[in-house]
Structure 1
């Protein structure tokens, strides 16, 4: 009997074309759609109807997985608690490791599938020793290897990325040729569970975070004004500081212990490196010190750096040239050329 592959079907064009390509390759498919509990209630019925029609068009059975409890614990609570601690979280990295390739993968296995496919733009290969390697998608503007960098070997072993060797334009063309979707809309850049991108409103609305006004100081400790709550800021931010000065101020540091916002000039934002915790290596490091390219946010450019591996598992990253706005809570992803080596969470910056 042919092995069963599950496809995480969101209703969007990428997962639809991923399913289409697997069907064309002769794969036996089961479509899985997971509910987070943060879908717009007034659109749930319409969305489920579209999913059913899409699954029928693809010729696959559709199962709905209730992830509301796990999503709240693993993603939403993490998101809110990070801001409460003065950090800027990355819920998409967290969701891929804990929900899509955690809860959803386990449900897929329980339903008889041996693998889980998604619409991510990334590539995977297996070497002669049986280890799996994660690579960037060939469409550099859509590459999503950054969001997958904290998968384990076991998770990567069961992952399938049918779009890794396609561009977005090719995906749109294949969807149109198969009449899978209507006219594609603009892709949202917002976090899926934050309505209209209103982070501050969402955070205070959860009841887990209370906006607490406090001082705004410069890097020398001189008070410049007052903020309405640290949750409204991230390192590198300029808007919303509202302190008059000879030049614009930028957020340099968020001191949650003292409820203080530290601001300064662009020069004050520069860092020589960062400390990283909970490092997860997809490939075992070959030495205690590695030359890598590091990406500190999804949309930031990779930068050459030296990583020194410490216990914990932790690491110290030193950039070849100083970088601006190194942000605690974000994910530092280490690359060697096209390949993802590993990733960890930024704890603090190193002074330049």
Structure 2
């Protein structure tokens, strides 16, 4: 069990409350254990910019309804509660890079950036200003201190593990961050919510990207940057032009549907050439990649000298696979898979594991 749920020493903790069941249970358990709990919610997106059809709701995180839910839970727990407006910072740190990535032929992962910059830099700074001992979140991951350093480990509930999104954490940050739910299953968290009588006990989980509540990221990109850009050719790996497309940002590696092509075999997007506005397609065998390079790498251990054996996860829902890993020139890391992998996508995060421990992570180049 997390040390905050075991210690009898009263701590001042800031809980990042999203309005969902995970962060609500986190705050309630810490209050139950006698800690001084302060609830804090990030307001990061102006939902008035999105007009949904009448009566339609979207299961995203960080909506205004979530802010209201977080406030109501804080009132129920009788703890101080603050809403911190990070809309400008979110635009600069998450939305602008999200759009830039798509228009540069990459597929971004905004959740990693939100955690890195908004939660574990800016919100952590607010926690320090309140002289808190810890910033606590509802992530399903674990932080342990052993052999003179902090270690980031997977959550025990393998189906909910969120360590993949947290590879940017530093030793200084991990010293002040705690994840009390890392030792629990989602079912146990729901049971705690019911036992504690929390208003959000039955609230469904958030889905999709918070600032694209209807899942239509193409509409979002065109509203942000304008339509009619990046049109060009759809080209087979052989060099044959098969058709036209209406924007490279509409496609991701591995995509099969929506190509509108006639061919003897099913075709997939295998590369995106944003400079030439070309979408390259090929048969499924062309999706297999034997290796990848990571850039902007964060090491959670001292970088090993020479190649070493580890496991690599190339997407959140991708099971990590065995590989040979080596730091190379320019701060990059080369990962050579034991077996070729499909779905290696520039712009996504690649995370390196030693067993259940995160040892490094970066962005697929």
Please tell me the TM-score bracket, short chain as reference. over 0.9
Give the equivalent residue in structure 2 for 1:324. Answer: 342
In 1: Cα distance, 2:227 partner to 2:292 partner: 27
Which of 209, 212, 215 lines up with 1:197 in the alignment? 215
Q: CA deviation at 1:110?
A: 1.2
- Cα 1:344–1:50 change in 2 (3 A) is closer
Contact kept, 8 Å, 1:211 with 1:231, in 2: the verdict is no
Q: Which residue of 2 aligns with 1:305?
A: 323
CA deviation after TM superposition for structure 1 residue 167, in Å:
0.3
C-alpha displacement at 1:3, in angstroms?
A: 3.9
Instruction: Show the 5 A alignment for 1:52-91.
Output: 52-91=71-110
**1:105 matched to which residue of 2?**
124
Task: Provide the rounded CA distance (Å) in 1 between the counterparts of 2:268 and 2:173.
Answer: 39
Task: State yes or no: 1:211 paired with 2:229.
Answer: yes
Distance 1:48 1:145, change over 3 A: closer
Q: How far apart are 1:280 and its partner, in Å?
A: 0.5
Report what 1:143 is aligned to.
Answer: 161
8 A contact 1:139–1:166 mirrored in 2: yes
SS of corresponding position for 1:163: helix
CA distance in 2, matches of 1:286, 1:47: 43
The answer on whether the counterparts of 1:278 and 1:312 sit within 8 Å (CA) in structure 2 is no
Q: How does 1:233-272 map to 2 (within 5 A)?
A: 233-272=251-290
Shift of 1:191: 0.6
State the alpha-carbon separation in 1 of the partners of residues 360 and 247 from structure 2.
34
- Quick one: which of 27, 43, 68 aligns to 1:19? 27
Could you tell me whether the CA contact under 8 Å between 1:80 and 1:208 is conserved in 2? no
Matches of 2:306 and 2:354, distance apart in 1:
16
Contact 1:305/1:318 (8 A) holds in 2: yes
- Across the aligned residues of Structure 1 and Structure 2, the Cα RMSD in angstroms comes to 1.8
Identify the residue that residue 162 of structure 1 maps to in structure 2. Answer: 180
8 Å contact kept, 1:195–1:202? no
Deviation at 1:79, TM superposition (A): 0.3
Q: What is the DSSP-based 3-state SS (H/G/I as helix, E as strand, rest coil) of the residue aligned with 1:293? A: strand
Q: Residues 109-140 of structure 1: CA distance to partner in whole angstroms, max 9, x if unpaired?
A: 112213110000001100132x1000000000
| Structure 1: runs of 5 or more not aligned | 348-352
- The one-character-per-residue Cα deviations of 1:8-50 (angstroms, maximum 9, x if unpaired) are 0011000001111212222211110010024457997755443
The count of corresponding residues between Structure 1 and Structure 2 is 346
* SS of aligned partner of 2:218: helix
2:15 corresponds in structure 1 to 7
Answering whether residue 128 of structure 2 is matched by residue 120 of structure 1, we say: no
TM-score by length of 1: 0.94
Aligned twin of 1:350? none
Any stretches of 5+ residues in structure 2 without a counterpart?
1-8, 52-56, 58-62
- Would you tell me which structure has more strand in proportion to its own residues? 1
The 3-state SS of whatever aligns with 1:31 is: strand
Q: Trace 1:27-42 onto structure 2 (pairs within 5 A).
A: 27-39=35-47
